[in-house]
Chains A and B, each alone.
Chain A
Amino acid sequence: MSAAGPSQGAKGAPSGGSAAASAASVGAHRPKHVDHARRQILAWGAAMAGVAIAPGITLFDLAHGRPPAEPASRTKRWGMLVDVNRCDPDCNACVTACDREHGLPAAKTATSAQWIRKVELTDMRGRKQSLPVMCQHCAEPPCVDVCPTGASFKRADGIVLVDRHTCIGCRYCMMACPYKARSFVHEPVTGQRPDVPRGKGCVESCTLCVHRIDRDQLPACVEACAAAGHKAILFGDLNDPASEIAQRIAAVATRQLRADLNLGTGVRYAGI
C-alpha cells in the first residue's frame, strides 16, 4: 500500500529536482557557492535514489515526503484511480472515513456537507455498479474559472481547494461543477478538527486529504478502502511514470467521468 502513497520510492528524481528549483528561486540573494553545493548534493541524492533493485523498489528512499517549509511542487500531480470492479456496492467505508477525518457530522440532514458519495450506475442491460464520486481535481477546474474572489484555486500539485478566508459563499462553483462535488455549509459548525477548519457560509469539497498528503500519508478514503479489504482506490502521482497509479493507467483502460468536457480530471475510473 505504501507503494501507492506519496512516499513512493522511485520518486527521488522529480522531487529532488523540485527542491533544487525552489532553492534556486528562494535563495537568489544567497552566495552562489551554497546553491552549487546543494545542487551537487541533490544531484548525488537523485542518482542514488534512482538505483533500482527491482522495478518499483529503490535502494534509497530519499524523497520521503516534502519538508514542511517547502511549497507544493508543480512536478507532482496527485490523483486517484478507482477500480470499480473492486468497489463493493454495500460498502460505505470511504464515506464514513471521510466524515471522520474531516469532522463532518455522521447524522446526515438535507443540508449536510458531502465530500464523497457512493453513486450507483445502471447500464442499459441492467448491470449495476457502485463507485465513489468526489471532487475530480480537474486540470482545468470550472469552479476556479467562475469563482469571483479567487477563493477556489488549484494548488501547484493539482489539488483543487477552497480558500475559506476569501470564500464569500456565493456558490457559483457549486453550479459550475459538473460532478456536484461541492457543498455549502448552512449551519454553524462546532468541534472542528484542528487540521480541517470549516465553518458556516463557505463552500467546501474533497481536499484529497491535503493535510495528510502534506505529511506523507494517504487520503483517508484510500486507507479505509484498503482496511475494508477492497483496495479499490489507488492514490499517487500521475506525473511520475514510475508510480503505481501511472503504470496502471498506462496498462488498463481507464475513464474520466464526463471526459467529453475535457477537464483533465485527476480522479480516474477503471471498469466502467
Chain B
Amino acid sequence: MLRGGHWTAAIRRCLAASVLLVACAAPALADAPGAGASRVPRPTAATPGGACVEDTAFMRRNHMNLIRHQRDLTVREGIRTTKHSLANCVDCHADPKTGRVTGSRDAFCEGCHAYAAVKLDCFECHADRAKTAATASVEKAK
C-alpha cells in the first residue's frame, strides 16, 4: 500500500490512526479506577470496608431498582427486611467524618450523583445520616 516517496500521506495516516486509538481508549481509561483524565472530577467518596449487599457492578446500575422495590414492600405491606432498605444503605455508606451520605462531593450518594448528573431526591424526605447520628441530632435539637 505504501509506495516510496509518499511519506507525507503515510505520516498523515499514522496520525489519524493514533488519534482514533486514543479516542477509543479514552472511555475505558475513564472507567478504570484511579484514572485522572476526566473533565469532571471523579467522586472521591470512600467505600466502606466489606462487601455490599450485592455485587458492586450490579449495585452501580441497579441500586435504584432495589430501593424502589423495597420501598413499596415496606410502605404498603409492612415488610421491613433491611437488606435492600435505604436506611441500611445510609448506615453503611455514611461519611465517617460527617455521618451523612449527602452534603458534599465527598459524601457517597451526593458525590456520585453529582458526577453522573442525576438528580437525587431521596433525602428531601429520608434521613441522610446513619441511624445513630440522626437520632442523636434530633435528641440534641429537643
- The chain A residues found within 8 Å of chain B, CB to CB, are 66, 68-72, 100, 103, 106, 153, 155-157, 161, 163-165, 188-189, 191-195, 197-200, 202, 210-211, 214-215
Contact between B134 and A194, CB atoms less than 8 A apart:
yes
Known contacts A71-B79, A72-B78, A161-B75, A197 near B126 by CB under 8 Å: yes
Contact between B79 and A70, CB atoms less than 8 A apart:
yes
Query: CB < 8 Å: which of A71, A161, A194, A199 contacts B124?
Result: A199
The interface residues of chain B lying within 8 Å CB-to-CB of A198 are: 125
The interface residues of chain A lying within 8 Å CB-to-CB of B90 are: 194
Taken together as a complex, chains A and B put the C-alpha atoms of A202 and B75 apart, in Å, by 15
| Closest beta carbon of chain A to B94's beta carbon, Å | 11
Number of A-B residue pairs, CB cutoff 8 Å, is 69
Contact between B81 and A69, CB atoms less than 8 A apart:
yes
Taken together as a complex, chains A and B put the C-alpha atoms of A72 and B80 apart, in Å, by 10
Contact between A155 and B76, CB atoms less than 8 A apart:
yes
Taken together as a complex, chains A and B put the C-alpha atoms of A156 and B135 apart, in Å, by 29
Instruction: Decide yes or no whether B97 CB sits under 8 A from chain A.
Output: no
Q: Is the interface of B mostly helix, strand, loop or mixed?
A: helix
- By beta carbon, the residue of chain B nearest A210 is B78
Known contacts A100-B142, A161-B75, A191-B141, A199 near B80 by CB under 8 Å: no
Contact between B76 and A163, CB atoms less than 8 A apart:
yes
The interface residues of chain A lying within 8 Å CB-to-CB of B77 are: 71-72, 155-156
The interface residues of chain A lying within 8 Å CB-to-CB of B82 are: 68
Query: CB < 8 Å: which of A163, A189, A193, A214 contacts B78?
Result: A214
Contact between A103 and B78, CB atoms less than 8 A apart:
no
Contact between A155 and B78, CB atoms less than 8 A apart:
yes
Instruction: Decide yes or no whether B137 CB sits under 8 A from chain A.
Output: yes
- By beta carbon, the residue of chain B nearest A213 is B78
The interface residues of chain B lying within 8 Å CB-to-CB of A71 are: 73, 77-79
| Closest beta carbon of chain B to A38's beta carbon, Å | 19
Interface centre among B81, B127, B142 (most CB of A within 10 A): B127
Known contacts A164-B125, A192-B126, A194-B87, A103 near B79 by CB under 8 Å: no
| Closest beta carbon of chain A to B69's beta carbon, Å | 12
The interface residues of chain B lying within 8 Å CB-to-CB of A191 are: 127, 134, 137-138, 141
The interface residues of chain B lying within 8 Å CB-to-CB of A72 are: 77-78
- By beta carbon, the residue of chain B nearest A202 is B125
Known contacts A161-B75, A163-B76, A198-B125, A103 near B81 by CB under 8 Å: no
| Closest beta carbon of chain B to A208's beta carbon, Å | 11
